Amino acid sequence: MQYYPPVGYFFTVTFVNNGADFGTNLAQNAFDCNFKEVGGLTSEIQMEYFAEGGVNDMQHPLPKGAKFGNITLKRGLLIKSELANWMYDSLENFQIVPREIVIILLGPLAVPIAGWHVTGAYPIKWEISGFNAMDNAIVIESIEFACQKHRRIILESVTTI
């Protein structure tokens, strides 16, 4: 049996409806869930270092807690977007409404092969690519989300193709 590492260009992003109208509106506008790039799926253990009295050549590393990176989603600028409305409510009106995000990496036959469940996510930064009259490029919006944590979804039914 051979194993080929998965490619990173075939994925889906879903915003889970937590009882608010955001998920319903996104389901009606499929473009709101299309992204060209997902970044920031990082996690690490924060460390605290203690020096022992009288010992000057070393420190004791002690785990302090887990830290999860901010999730960044990039896409072509949408003129009408429920995701943008959620982002503006957070940034301009300071109405922070955490949501869940599910990111699924797909295999060759659109079969899910890996996934990540992001909890407590809300927008904290919005950025638009620069405008350049000499460049023939799509305007890209980048939305960064803070989150409580993200966890890898174990897909047990996946078989190697």
Q: State percent of the chain over pLDDT 70.
A: 88
Long-range contacts of 62-65 (CB under 8 A, 24+ apart): none
Strands 11-16 and 37-39: unpaired
Report if residue 121 sits inside a domain.
yes
Q: Which residue segment(s) compose the domain that 23 sits in?
A: 11-153
Which residue type does 25 have? N
Report if residue 2 sits inside a domain.
no
DSSP category for residue 132: -
Report if residue 6 sits inside a domain.
no
Q: CB under 8 Å to 157, separation ≥6 — which residues?
A: none
For the stretch 50-86, pLDDT in tens is 988 888 888 999 999 999 999 999 999 988 888 888 8
Instruction: Please tell me the total count of domains within the chain.
Output: 1
Report if residue 158 sits inside a domain.
no
Give kind and range of the element (H or E) at residue 149. Answer: strand 149-153
Residues facing residue 115 across a β-bridge:
104, 153
For the stretch 28-45, pLDDT in tens is 467 778 899 999 999 999
Q: What is the CATH number of the domain that holds 44?
A: 2.30.110
Concatenate the DSSP letters of all residues of 68-130 into one string.
EPPEEEEEEPPSS-HHHHHHHHHHTS-----EEEEEEEE-TTS-EEEEEEEEEEEEEEEEEPP
